[in-house]
């Protein structure tokens, strides 16, 4: 009873108080005008605030989206050895975890940006009030103080724009409160330190540390960490050398705040204050010089995944991909250098003819135009510059850094606006000539189809056109091995006697009769198929193509990926267009028992940002490879890769003959390498292209030299003296990678002793390692071996050889027949070289 009495009494008092307040409010409402208007304004203000909050927050992004937010990250590219060789990035971004940030770096940013970060709920009311006062200050001439907490900056950088307005600030505050309810303080700080823009195209502290100091955040000194902490305020100002004192003053202020907050001692602050900024103007080169290879990788990635985040989660410039490539840096360096040596060797003594590019002097500062053109070169001490002034025989050259220098050895044809190479000389620079002739080089592993090296010109900074994959060139005699392969499939053998005689075809009433001939004319008699390939005889090739059927020949070309051509005999001599990449892949089929892997691959596999493999070139399944425990059975094995495009026996027979090209044929200059190499030279009409393709059981390489707009290279140019030396340079630079492995014959091949000249079988002699040995081992398919040679056969062969030598001597003795090459016919011809 007592409790209910007390409760009733309390309720009475509350009711009486409420009635009294109500009476007071009603009386003031009736009697006082200011009271009525004050209440009306209060209600209107609350209503306006409610409407404003609704309008501001209704279109705001969901703070919970930060739980799944993916920082836009560049694609990182690794070489075959797993080392990083390049990155595809428009912004410098490197993502770290919270534990990766040094405590001192965190303390520097807290002292500079938000010292109460770990205690406020997303908005610092005191800082906001200061920002409002500064914003309303009529004397202010600069952008108002932001007053933003780290959480607000995360909201702005990740979820909002950088719009400068009160509306955005209010949205920022609302979002900051929501973010604090979704993420922990450590998660917010991790987002902030990974996303904050810090100048020099750097986002996040790790990228900025690399950009300004060329080191990782874990290696920063106290003064360097304090410098990074000043950048969010004005990164483009403090990061410039001309504002160095302002940056030092601001850095010292941050150090003072760190001391005041108890993060560092007075002695530590004083020591850091005395340090210079130590900013790096140029970063150390971290990546390899493999521009053509890496551009091909980028092109393939763009086709597969797109460019930006809008095209998919695994985009090239935002997806954070990790790409393992087949790039062999040692091979790449050797390929690049060998091709350059070959191009410079050809261009030696030739005058400066045309500029690398031409800039327009009427469009402003020429050095600025050069800087924005991205034209460059990385060869010895050469630099790319633009002629900014010319007066008679003297000129001034300017570089992309804005500096200018006197230029000597000035070509008469050069003019203001021309871009040329130059090298330091004394107190100025001297003109250097980038070869106008160009070419390409590509090396591939025949067993896997992985491209190990690719050089598509002198330097990728001079232009992105990749001549290894994009330039359609006529391969000349490098296509002949596949004509011979077709002949072997049709029943011929390396010892088959083939006519080296004129061959004419009737092409219809409009075109009349067409006759083929050898390079330099000549011919006669019959010779072994081997001899015809070693000496690259056009007439013998045409006879083989005609006997085997041109349709069968073009089908062979198509199967090995060289090209899809019409059934004309001229295509048997290399008249059709193809690329270096296709020719090299076709030759890998020869070296790999008739198996090939398409046009070769530059990407092994692709991982997403979390390390999951999302694509791989080798799609073979390995049943049992992922067993938790060994079941005691034999180790799982991968199946054979590649596609069988040729008879393995035919492929080996062709390789065996092509080894003779190196030993005593048109590529004889490679014999001194002392390696079991095979290969074929090629020279097209003009000559406009000089080729070599070949290699070993483990490496196949191909290259050509020629002008981008095909024109005569000069009568002396042949594949053997222009392209083959490039191969020699490449092999010599990578000698330890080649080994001494011989080509192994597949099942079904018989090695038979034959007379090298006649092709007849020999029983009473033993082949030697001498290139010109009379008796050699020859490869035959079962039941195709030649009969035994007779004494009369040997005498006849020797007589034919002597007659051929006499004929060639008479031709050489004729007047007006110097070392220059005769004018080439419309159809393709090939050099006749080597020794026999």
Asked whether the beta carbons of 651 and 589 are under 8 A apart, the reply is yes
Can you name the residues that pair with 440 across neighbouring β-strands?
A: 704
Is 477 labeled as catalytic in the residue annotation?
yes
CA 752, CA 761: separation in Å to the nearest integer? 7
CA 212, CA 201: separation in Å to the nearest integer? 11
Helix boundaries (H) for 682-751:
724-733
Can you name the residues that pair with 601 across neighbouring β-strands?
A: 450
Helix boundaries (H) for 75-165:
103-113, 125-136, 150-154
Is 113 labeled as catalytic in the residue annotation?
yes
CA 579, CA 586: separation in Å to the nearest integer? 11
Cis peptide before 135 (omega within 30 of 0): no
Per the residue annotation, which of 113, 224, 296, 831 is the catalytic one? 113
Degrees (nearest 5) of the Cα angle 407, 411, 413? 125
Among 503, 506, 485, which residue's Cα sits nearest to residue 494?
485
SS3 label, residue 509: coil
Residue 628, number of CB atoms within 10 A of its CB:
5
Residue 344, number of CB atoms within 10 A of its CB:
15
In 36-100, at which residue ranges do the beta strands (DSSP E only) sit? Answer: 75-78, 84-88, 92-93
Give 501's DSSP letter: S
SS3 label, residue 661: helix
Degrees (nearest 5) of the Cα angle 580, 691, 443? 45
Degrees (nearest 5) of the Cα angle 140, 145, 148? 160
In terms of phi and psi (left: phi > 0; alpha: psi -120 to 50; beta: otherwise), the region of 823 is beta
Asked whether the beta carbons of 402 and 387 are under 8 A apart, the reply is no
579-606 per-residue burial string, b: 16 or more CB within 10 A, e: under 16:
bbbbbbbbbbbbbbbbbbbebbbbbbeb
For 191, the token pair is: 């987002």
Can you name the residues that pair with 777 across neighbouring β-strands?
A: 753
For 283, the token pair is: 């970063």
For 551, the token pair is: 């349709």
In 688-821, at which residue ranges do the beta strands (DSSP E only) sit? Answer: 690-695, 700-706, 750-755, 775-780
92-93 vs 202-203, strand pairing mode: parallel
Residue 810, number of CB atoms within 10 A of its CB:
9
Q: Please, which residues have CB within 8 angstroms of residue 109's CB and are 6 or more apart in sequence?
A: 150, 192, 193, 205, 228, 229, 232
Per the residue annotation, which of 223, 326, 400, 477 is the catalytic one? 477
CA 811, CA 699: separation in Å to the nearest integer? 40
For 650, the token pair is: 């035919």
Q: Please, which residues have CB within 8 angstroms of residue 454's CB and are 6 or more apart in sequence?
A: 290, 292, 293, 296, 332, 335, 441, 442, 443, 466, 468, 469, 602
CA 560, CA 568: separation in Å to the nearest integer? 18
CA 532, CA 680: separation in Å to the nearest integer? 12
- 3-state helix vs strand vs coil in the chain, percent to 5: 40, 15, 40
CA 437, CA 655: separation in Å to the nearest integer? 31
Catalytic residues: 113, 477
């Amino acid at each position: 009873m007592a409790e209910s009495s007390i409760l009733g009494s309390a309720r009475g008092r509350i009711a009486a108080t409420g009635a009294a307040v109500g009476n007071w409010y009603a009386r003031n409402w009736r009697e006082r005008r200011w009271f009525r208007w004050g209440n009306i304004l209060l209600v209107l203000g609350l209503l306006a605030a409610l409407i404003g909050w609704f309008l501001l927050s209704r279109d705001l992004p969901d703070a919970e989206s930060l739980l799944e937010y993916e920082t836009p990250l560049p694609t990182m590219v690794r070489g075959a050895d797993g080392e990083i060789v390049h990155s595809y990035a428009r912004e410098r971004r490197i993502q770290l975890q919270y534990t990766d940030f040094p405590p001192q770096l965190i303390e520097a940013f807290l002292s500079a940006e938000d010292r109460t970060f770990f205690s406020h709920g997303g908005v610092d009311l005191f800082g906001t009030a200061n920002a409002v006062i500064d914003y309303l200050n009529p004397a202010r001439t600069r952008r108002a103080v932001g007053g933003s907490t780290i959480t607000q900056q995360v909201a702005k950088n990740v979820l909002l724009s950088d719009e400068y307005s009160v509306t955005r600030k209010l949205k920022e505050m609302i979002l900051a409160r929501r973010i604090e309810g979704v993420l922990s303080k450590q998660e917010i700080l991790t987002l902030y330190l990974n996303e904050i823009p810090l100048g020099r195209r750097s986002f996040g502290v790790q990228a900025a540390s690399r950009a300004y100091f060329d080191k990782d955040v874990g290696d920063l000194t106290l003064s360097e960490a304090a410098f990074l902490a000043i950048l969010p305020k004005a990164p483009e100002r403090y990061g410039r050398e001309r504002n160095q004192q302002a940056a030092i003053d601001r850095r010292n202020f941050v150090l003072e705040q760190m001391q005041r907050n108890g993060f560092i001692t007075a002695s530590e602050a004083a020591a850091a204050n005395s340090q210079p900024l130590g900013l790096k103007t140029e970063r150390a080169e971290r990546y390899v010089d493999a521009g053509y290879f890496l551009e091909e990788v980028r092109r393939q990635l763009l086709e597969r995944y797109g460019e930006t985040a809008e095209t998919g989660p695994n985009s090239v410039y935002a997806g954070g991909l990790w790409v393992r490539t087949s790039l062999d840096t040692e091979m790449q360096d050797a390929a690049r250098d060998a091709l350059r040596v070959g191009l410079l060797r050809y261009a030696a003594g030739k005058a400066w003819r045309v500029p690398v590019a031409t800039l327009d002097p009427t469009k402003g500062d020429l050095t600025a135009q050069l800087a924005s053109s991205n034209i460059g070169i990385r060869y010895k001490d050469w630099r790319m510059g633009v002629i900014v002034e010319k007066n008679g025989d003297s000129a001034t050259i300017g570089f992309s850094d804005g500096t200018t220098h006197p230029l000597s050895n000035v070509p008469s044809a050069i003019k203001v606006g021309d871009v040329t190479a130059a090298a330091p000389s004394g107190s100025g620079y001297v003109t250097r000539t980038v070869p106008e002739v160009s070419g390409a080089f590509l090396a591939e592993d025949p067993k896997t189809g992985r491209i190990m090296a690719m050089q598509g010109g002198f330097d990728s900074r001079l232009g992105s056109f990749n001549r290894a994959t994009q330039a359609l060139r006529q391969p000349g005699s490098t296509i002949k091995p596949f004509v011979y392969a077709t002949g072997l499939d049709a029943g011929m053998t390396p010892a088959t006697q083939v006519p080296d005689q004129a061959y004419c075809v009737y092409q219809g009433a409009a075109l009349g009769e067409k006759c083929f001939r050898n390079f330099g004319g000549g011919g006669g008699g019959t010779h072994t198929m081997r001899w015809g390939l070693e000496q690259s005889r056009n007439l013998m090739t045409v006879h083989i193509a005609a006997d085997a059927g041109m349709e069968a020949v073009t089908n062979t070309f198509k199967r090995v990926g060289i090209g899809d051509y019409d059934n004309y005999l001229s295509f048997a001599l290399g008249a059709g267009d193809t690329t270096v990449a296709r020719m090299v892949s076709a030759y890998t089929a020869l070296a790999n028992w008739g198996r090939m892997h398409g046009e070769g691959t530059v990407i092994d596999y692709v991982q997403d940002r979390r390390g999951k493999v999302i694509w791989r070139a080798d799609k073979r399944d390995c049943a049992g490879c992922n067993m938790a425990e060994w079941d005691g059975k034999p180790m799982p094995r991968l199946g054979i890769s590649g596609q069988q495009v040729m008879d393995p026996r035919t492929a080996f027979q062709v390789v065996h003959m092509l080894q003779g090209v190196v030993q005593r044929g048109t590529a004889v200059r490679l014999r001194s390498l002392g390696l079991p190499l095979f290969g074929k030279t090629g020279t097209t009409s003009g000559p406009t292209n000089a080729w070599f393709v070949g290699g070993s059981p483990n490496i196949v390489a191909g290259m050509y030299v020629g002008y981008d707009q095909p024109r005569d290279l000069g009568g002396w140019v042949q594949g053997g003296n222009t392209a083959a030396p490039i191969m020699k340079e490449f092999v010599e630079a990578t000698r330890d990678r080649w080994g001494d492995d011989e080509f192994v014959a597949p099942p079904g091949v018989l090695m038979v002793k034959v007379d090298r000249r006649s092709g007849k079988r020999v029983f009473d002699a033993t082949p030697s390692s001498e290139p010109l040995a009379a008796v050699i081992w020859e490869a035959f398919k079962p039941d195709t071996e030649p009969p035994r040679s007779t004494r009369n056969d040997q005498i006849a062969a020797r007589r034919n050889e002597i007659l051929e030598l006499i004929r060639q001597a008479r031709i050489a003795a004729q007047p007006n027949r110097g070392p220059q090459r005769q004018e080439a016919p419309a159809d393709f011809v090939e050099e006749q070289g080597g020794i026999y």
